[in-house]
Every structure is written in structure tokens, then in C-alpha cells.
Amino acid sequence: MRTYHCFWLLFWAGQPHQSFLTPLSKRTSGFPEKEKVLVLSGNNRQDLHRSKRSWMWNQFFLLEEYTGTDYQYVGKLHSDQDKGDGSLKYILSGDGAGDLFIINENTGDIQATKRLDREEKPVYILRAQAINRRTGRPVEPESEFIIKIHDINDNEPMFTKDVYNASIPEMSDVGTFVVQVTATDADDPTYGNSAKVVYSILQGQPYFSVESETGIIKTALLNMDRENREQYQVVIQAKDMGGQMGGLSGTTTVNITLTDVNDNPPRFPQSTYQFRAPESTPLDAPVGRIKANDADVDENAEIEYSITEGDGYDMFGITTDKETQEGIITVKKALDFESKNLYILKVEATNTHVDPRFLYLGPFKDSATVRIQVEDVDEPPLFSRPAYIMEVKEDVPLNSVIGTVTAQDPDAARNPVKYSVDRHTDMDRVFNINSGNGSIFTSKPLDREALLWHNITVIAAEINNPKQSSRVPVFIKVLDVNDNAPEFAMFYETFVCENAKAEQLIQTLSAVDKDDSYNGHQFSFSLAPEAASSSNFTLQDNRDNTAGIFTRKNRYNRHETSTYFLPVVISDNDYPIQSSTETVTIRVCACDHRGKMLSCNAEALIHPTGLSTGALIAILLCIIILLVTVVLFAALRRQRKKEPLIISKEDIRDNIVSYNDEGGGEEDTQAFDIGTLRNPEAIDDNKLRRDIVPETLFMPRRTATARDNTDVRDFINQRLKENDTDPTAPPYDSLATYAYEGNGSVAESLSSLESVTTDGDQDYDYLSDWGPRFKKLADMYGPMDSDKDS
């Protein structure tokens, strides 16, 4: 049975600095809860003034999660001004007033309308006041009070994580910290034991334990080995009420992983390994793989292999494959079955990362024996040297032997060998080789100045099995002999002034030699015998591989001799002595008093090669004339009229109508279509011309046919105007068919064309009476009648 406490709280509001507190409380048990009264006091003055007072009151308490059907009673407000006549009205404001908490405005009873949850809001602060119902003015100052929600154990502990993950090294000591779990309870920690959490382990014993108050998980078993079991799942429970019966609880899962330490040495699965290797195995090629097993992982399982003993200690090597942790045995020196066909090695495997804590478990290494059997193979011939260097003089006779290469079959059979030159390295076939003994000889002349070194490759192959072959490079150096005469270092062409004086230096000469000289070149210069006595110049050898040309007389005349050719002999001092004759060209030029050249007969010395100004002007004029001719020709072609596409004698435009002529008379039947003139209704629509290509197409205009009573002049003028304004009319003379002559004249028809249809003679005397305009017709037809009468 729960016990509820009821408090009567009386506040008297009176004179300043006076306060009275009358507590009314009574302990009761059972339901309903006794009434809590908050008594408000004041005076009846109309003008209310806040007076200084000191007061205290007890808090209202409510249990959370009320499950009753009626509103939960909180307490009662009462004012000493309330006479019980209903003149006062109680009002409530603050947290949840009017919604969560309601007050009976007549009696001051306060009730809670909803279930309260302390975890949502533990304290509500409200304000109460009594006002005059009639005037609406407060009769008491506003008073503040607190409603505090009492907690019940309605929340179970909740862990901060649903699943925890932790790891510890294997072989850890007992009590090693693993991880700390934390659970929180939303209940009030200051009220009872609702929020007091205690931890316990439900699953994971005997390997781990947990501290009941802190939630720290520790190891509980010694020497847990990862190689035996790596993963552990521990279930931890958190229970409130201090772990007592009836408390709420929650659980979480902790996944614990044992991490590896180097507590296992490497071990070979077998004590002896056997491999076979052909003697032709190249260097650094693998022979076989061995592996020592290590139960550890990652860097704790890294192994380093080494060869510690054996007769093949210097013949083989071993390396570690970082991916597979295997030892790879490789060849360090060339194998030879004929020399040794069996090697025995001792290989050791050692951990690279050793943990001193576990040295007591034994040495972290292991060893095994490796036997390697060398197999015999058919090997290619082997040269006595890896490369050959030979020397030969460039003047050696053809077919002279310059050196010999030697190769033999290393196999026990000692098969014979034949030699040949790889022609890809000797395209010019300068050298050849004796296929039997390997002697190399020349087959073409050598020239050191053209090519100093010849690099050829010699092939040695077994006669019985030509596929077994080997190659060796041969470097042949061509030695120099004095076979080239010295020559000028450049082409010399100089000049001498007409006013030159005797013994004047006009040119310094130097020479070069293609041959090689170990002590340096020594050249001598002299004039050719044929020029030594008759030359106008002298040559002086400076003894430093240079020479100077000097004048022999005081003046020279370019009009007498414009050019001199001076032959010079150059010799070397090697054996055999080589010499050559070179020519120096000397031109006679006019110079000023300082010796500066002004002009020479050979203007090529001072004038650049090119065309004269007159020639350039003539070429430019020719180009301008050619351009003008092209432009005029193009303009004339543009102005030419288009030629008709149809040329025929029967074409109506072959007859040119001259307007200052009279016409051909009755016999002229070729110029016009008589039928068209007779029949005005036979006129067709305008048609495009068939003899030329039309430039612009216009829709032809249809002209209305003139009526029978239309005056001829008006009709002709109308047709003339239409043709003048017609854009499709051609710009040259052509036939314009009017198709009608008119029939309203007093003189009837003036045309003689109609007479073609009658056989009788006509009388044309009336033409003389029509005036001067018809005089021509009267003269034409009048005399004809007179002749006929006579």
C-alpha cells in the first residue's frame, strides 16, 4: 500500500514585511488522495500594490505513468478573500496550464488530464491567481508553485552501442583490459534505485569477466592462443534497481578478436628437398621453391631464407617471395655437368620479427637439406674469350690474316665446330673467316680515314647440330699508314693591289693531313719548280705548318695580267713522304693608298651575284603588260554577245526587217506568216526562245485579243507599248506578230497580201486621191497599170 502526503499551504498577504505560513498537511493512506490547499491572502483595497513579503511553500508531487480512468488530482488553490459567494475566480498559467493541468475556477481544484512521464519533463512551474469575477481585477498577487513528477522504474538500461568490437593480443595475462561497455537508465537517479545499473556477464565465461559497477571487461583465462581460437562473443547484461529482483535489464554483444603475436617458430614440413637443374640454366634463373610453415600471420609469419652450409654455397642463392613466403633457389654461377653434377645445400628459415617474450618457446628458426642434381644438355660451342680485339694496318694486302678466334664444344663428345661471319655485321664483306680454324682475313682494301673500327660478329656452330651455336663480338681497329698527302686547309683566293710594294705579305697558307701522326704533323711549303724562277711572288715557309706569300716586285697592272695562279708544293715528314701541289689564285685589284681594295676585274670578289637594276625593271614591266593584257581579254569576253544556239535558214530571224524599206510586195511570202496575219484568233501565248539559253525566267504575259472593231493605230500602239515594257522581250530586232490589221477603214484593206487569193486585176487609182502619205503606193501600182494598158 502506497502512502501519500497532503500539504495545506497558506499564504497571508498583508502589511509590508509581514508573512504568515500555515501548513496544513496530514498523512493518509489509500485513495483518494487528500486535498492539498494553497491559501492565498490579500486585502480588499481597490488599488493593489505589491508588498515585500517572504514566503515558502511545499512542492506538489505526482507519480508518473498514472493509470487511473479519472483525472489525477493535484491540489487546491484557496484565497482568504474567498467568502464562498462565487465572487472570485481562480486562474492557472504556466507549464501545461489549460492543457495538461486544469483548474476549477470556482473551487480552485487542480487536476492533471494526461499521463505524465518524468523522462519527458520532471518539473512543471505554474502560477496561480484569484481575480474578482465582476471586475476582472486580481484580488491577490500572482503566486508561483512547482509540480514535481515522482519517478517509477519504467525504463530499462540501454547500452550506448548495440554491438561492441574489441581486440587484444593473444597470450595476454589475466586481467588484461579489453573494453568498457556503458549503459544508461532514463529513470531518476536521485529517487530510489531505479537508475542504479549493475553489469554482469551472461556469455563468455570462463575467458572474460566484467566489473559490475564500471562495465570494464577483462581477460579471465591465461594463455589464450589465437591459433586455437580467434573469435569470442561475450554477452553483457546491465540491470537497474542495483541488480535486485524485479529490476529491468538490457544486454549487448561484445565481439572480441585475439590478435596475433609471434609465438610460433617456422617449421619445414620435410627435412630434405631434391631438385634437378639442366647445366644450361641461365644465371639468376630459379631451380626450385621450398617453404617453411608458420602458424602466425602478417609480419609475424615473415620468413627469411639463407644457405648456411653445403658444397654449393657459392653456386646457388636463395631469396624470399614476399607474397607466398617461399624460398626461391636460384643459380649464381654457370653450371657444368662435366665438372660437377650434384650439390648439397643446408637452408635455414628464420622469423624476421621475433618477440622476446616468447623466446622461452624455443629458437624461431628451422633448417632443411636441399639436393640439386645437375643434368647434362647439349651445349653450344664456347669461345675462349667473351670478346676479341684485333689490329690491322690499312695498307695490309688482301687475304692477310689479322687474328684467330677459338671455340670448342664443352660437352664430353667434343663435336667439331665451324666458324662463320654474321653478314649483318659486315655488309660490305670486308672480312672473311676460315670455317675450320677461325682465322680472320681481309677480303677488301681497308681505309682508316673512311672507317677506323670494324665491329663484326663471329658465329661458331657444331657441325653435327648447327642449331647449337654461339656468337662472339670481334673489334678490329685499322691502324694508320702515311697514305694521304697534305692539302690546303681551305681554298685560297686572294688579291694583290696594283700599287703594292715588293716583299709585301698578301696571304698566309696552312695545311691539313687526313693521316694520323703520333708525334704531330710537320709540313713544308715551297713553290713548284716551274714557278720558282718566273713567278711574280715568293713563298716563305714559317716552319710552323704555315707559309706566307709575298710580292716580288713593286707594281702590278691588272690590264696586263688580271689573275695569277701560284702552284705550291706541300710535303709531310712521315714515311713514306707524301706531297701534293695546290694552287693559290691571286687577282690584281685597284686599291686606295691604305691598301683597301676598290675594284677588280673579277667583280665576284666584291659584288654579290645577282641581276642588275635594269634587268629587274624590264622583268617588272613585262609582268605588268601581261596582267593588263589578261584583264582586257577578260573584259572583251564579257561584252561579247551570246551566239544563237540554233542557226538555220528557215529560222524567221534570218530575215531582217528594215523599217526604212517598203517590203517585197506580193511575192514576199517568206518574211511573215500570212496565215497568222489573216487569222487574229490563231495567236499563241508568248513562248521562250529556243535558240538561246534563257538567263532569267519570267512568266509570259498573256495579251488580250483585240476586238474586230478596234482601230488599227490604237491596236499597233497598244502592242508596241506592251513589247517595250515586256521584261521578257529580247533586246534585238525580232518579229512582233500583231495578228490583226483592222477592218474598219473606208479604203478597206491597204495590204496587197490579200490579192494573192484573187485572180483578177485591181484598180489602184484611188490611191492618188488619199494624199502624200499614199503617194509611194500610188507610184508603185499606177505605172504597172499603164504598162499593162499599152
CB 537 within 8 A of CB 561: no
Three-class HEC string of 606-622: CCCCCCCHHHHHHHHHH
Query: Hey, do 59-150 and 158-259 end up sharing a CATH topology, with the first three levels equal?
Result: yes
Q: What tens digit of pLDDT does each residue of 463-522 get?
A: 988 998 999 999 999 988 887 888 888 989 888 898 888 888 989 999 998 877 777 788
Ordered alpha helix ranges (H), 505-552: 529-532
| Three-state secondary-structure class, residue 7 | strand
Query: How does DSSP assign 350-367, residue by residue?
Result: EESS--GGGGGG--SEEE
Residue 743: what pLDDT?
Answer: 55
- Using CA atoms, how far apart are residues 276 and 268, in angstroms rounded to an integer? 20
Of 272-281, 607-616, 643-652, the range with the lowest mean pLDDT is: 643-652
Q: Is the pLDDT of residue 64 over 80?
A: no
CB 317 within 8 A of CB 327: no
Ordered strands of the 249-259 beta sheet = 163-169, 249-259, 231-239, 198-203
Query: What's the CATH fold of domain 158-259?
Result: Immunoglobulin-like (2.60.40)
CB 396 within 8 A of CB 446: yes
- Using CA atoms, how far apart are residues 324 and 302, in angstroms rounded to an integer? 10
CB 651 within 8 A of CB 735: no
Give the CATH architecture of domain 487-599: Sandwich (2.60)
Instruction: Tell me the average pLDDT of the chain.
Output: 78
Cis check: omega of the bond before 731, within 30 degrees of 0: no
Return the DSSP state at 235. E
* The domain made up of 59-150 is a member of CATH 2.60.40.60: yes
- Using CA atoms, how far apart are residues 741 and 677, in angstroms rounded to an integer? 7
Q: Is the pLDDT of residue 11 over 70?
A: no
Length of the chain: 790
Q: What tens digit of pLDDT does each residue of 613-663 get?
A: 778 888 999 999 999 999 999 988 887 654 554 444 444 444 555 555 555
CA distances from 213 to 182, 193, 210, 666 (A): 10, 14, 9, 150
Q: Is the pLDDT of residue 285 over 90?
A: yes
With cut-offs at 50, 70 and 90, classify the pLDDT of residue 32: very low
Closest CA to 248 of 185, 190, 188, 201: 185
- Using CA atoms, how far apart are residues 456 and 422, in angstroms rounded to an integer? 7
| Three-state secondary-structure class, residue 177 | strand
Could you tell me the three cell numbers for 186?
Answer: 532514463
Q: What tens digit of pLDDT does each residue of 567-603 get?
A: 999 888 877 888 888 899 989 998 888 878 888 854 4
- φ, ψ of residue 754 in degrees (nearest 5): -70, -20
- Using CA atoms, how far apart are residues 53 and 84, in angstroms rounded to an integer? 26
CA distances from 737 to 98, 158, 500, 720, 752 (A): 116, 120, 103, 11, 18
Residue 622: what pLDDT?
Answer: 93
- Using CA atoms, how far apart are residues 730 and 690, in angstroms rounded to an integer? 12
Residue 783: what pLDDT?
Answer: 54
Query: What's the CATH fold of domain 382-479?
Result: Immunoglobulin-like (2.60.40)
Query: How does DSSP assign 554-581, residue by residue?
Result: S---TTT-SEEEEEEEEE-SSSS--EEE
With cut-offs at 50, 70 and 90, classify the pLDDT of residue 762: low
Residue bearing the bigger pLDDT, 389 or 142 = 389
Query: How does DSSP assign 127-142, residue by residue?
Result: EEEEEETTT--BSS--
Residue bearing the bigger pLDDT, 666 or 713 = 713
Closest CA to 310 of 343, 272, 263, 335: 343
Residue 336: what pLDDT?
Answer: 87
Q: What tens digit of pLDDT does each residue of 566-577 get?
A: 899 988 887 788
Q: What tens digit of pLDDT does each residue of 67-101 get?
A: 777 888 888 878 888 887 888 888 888 888 888 88
524-527 vs 563-571, strand pairing mode: antiparallel
CA distances from 505 to 7, 497, 501 (A): 145, 11, 10
Determine what percent of the chain is predicted with pLDDT higher than 90: 30
Q: Is the pLDDT of residue 60 over 80?
A: no
Quote the CATH superfamily of domain 272-375.
Cadherins (2.60.40.60)
How many helices (H) and strands (E) would you count in the chain?
5, 44
With cut-offs at 50, 70 and 90, classify the pLDDT of residue 789: very low
Determine what percent of the chain is predicted with pLDDT higher than 70: 76
Q: What tens digit of pLDDT does each residue of 454-473 get?
A: 999 999 999 988 998 999 99
Q: What tens digit of pLDDT does each residue of 355-407 get?
A: 888 888 878 899 999 999 999 888 889 999 999 999 999 889 999 999 999 99
Domain ranges in the chain are 59-150, 158-259, 272-375, 382-479, 487-599
**Predicted TM-score (pTM) above 0.85:** no
